[in-house]
Amino acid sequence: MFKLVLLGPPGAGKGTQADVLGSKYGIPHISTGNIFRDHITRQTDLGKQVQHLLSRGDLVPDDVTNELVRDRLARNDCAAGFILDGYPRTTDQAKFLKRLARITAVVEIAVPEETVVKRLSSRWMCACGRAYGLVSDTPRKRGQCDSCDAQLFQRNDDKPEVIRHRFQVYRESTQPLVEFYKGENRYLRVDGAGSIQDVTKRISDALVRHVAHVVG
């Protein structure tokens, strides 16, 4: 089964696509951002330790993040495959992951910065991880999640100044990963523009071609 990594700037649609693809392939969607946010909500020791980092848009230290992912990937539901969203985010994390699992494909969702800044500033989230927009992908009932009826909220790192900082962190720490993976033939780049369904189709098509190529 697929062991996937989704790469791309904040707001590229990694979380949305990971959700859709996870259901489609029956594998868990693992978002380090969602895991950290859940710890913050529950005010666990880890949550208290990382909350100021998330609210500023800074990265959680590699050793903390790596350990968390190692524990998560060791769980039974990951045996058949998984989709990583938001990890790895640094070259150090990518090296760590290399020792943990044999990744089928690394998919970069490519979107221009102007587009994602607009998307993020109008993004509304549900605690279940689903994201909605103000213009497209709006919820059926205003302010309420289609999947679980919970009330939607804006992420506190989706403020303009924090968004800018997250981009800076992305360019400095995560962009070099593209170089790290580019040399490998499992690196797939898809255009992240258009509707959710368009992008899902591009990713699945790229994966099917990739797997056929590797097997054939």
List interacting residues with ligand ADP (CB under 6 A).
Answer: 10-11, 32-33, 36, 53-54, 57-60, 65, 86-87, 89, 93, 157, 166
Residue 93's binding partner out of ligand ADP, Zn ion, none, with CB under 5 to 8 Å set by partner kind: ligand ADP
- 28, 82 contact by CB (below 8 A): yes
Query: Does 155 qualify as catalytic in the annotation?
Result: yes
- 60, 66 contact by CB (below 8 A): no
Residue 128's binding partner out of Zn ion, ligand ADP, none, with CB under 5 to 8 Å set by partner kind: Zn ion
Query: Does 14 qualify as catalytic in the annotation?
Result: yes
> Computed from CA positions of residues 84, 99, 81, 204, in that sequence, does the dihedral angle turn out positive or negative?
positive
Both tokens assigned to 140 = 């059926």
Query: Does 141 qualify as catalytic in the annotation?
Result: no
Work out whether 151 is an interface residue with Zn ion (CB under 5 A).
no
Among 112, 116, 69, CA closest to 88: 69
Phi, psi of 74 (to 5 degrees): -80, -10
Of 3, 37, 89, 130, the catalytic one is 89
Of 14, 37, 119, 130, the catalytic one is 14
CA–CA gap between residue 53 and residue 175 (Å, rounded): 20
Work out whether 128 is an interface residue with Zn ion (CB under 5 A).
yes
The residues assigned a catalytic role are 14, 89, 123, 155, 166
Judged by the rule CB under 5 A, the positions of this chain that interact with Zn ion are 126, 128, 130, 145, 147-148, 150
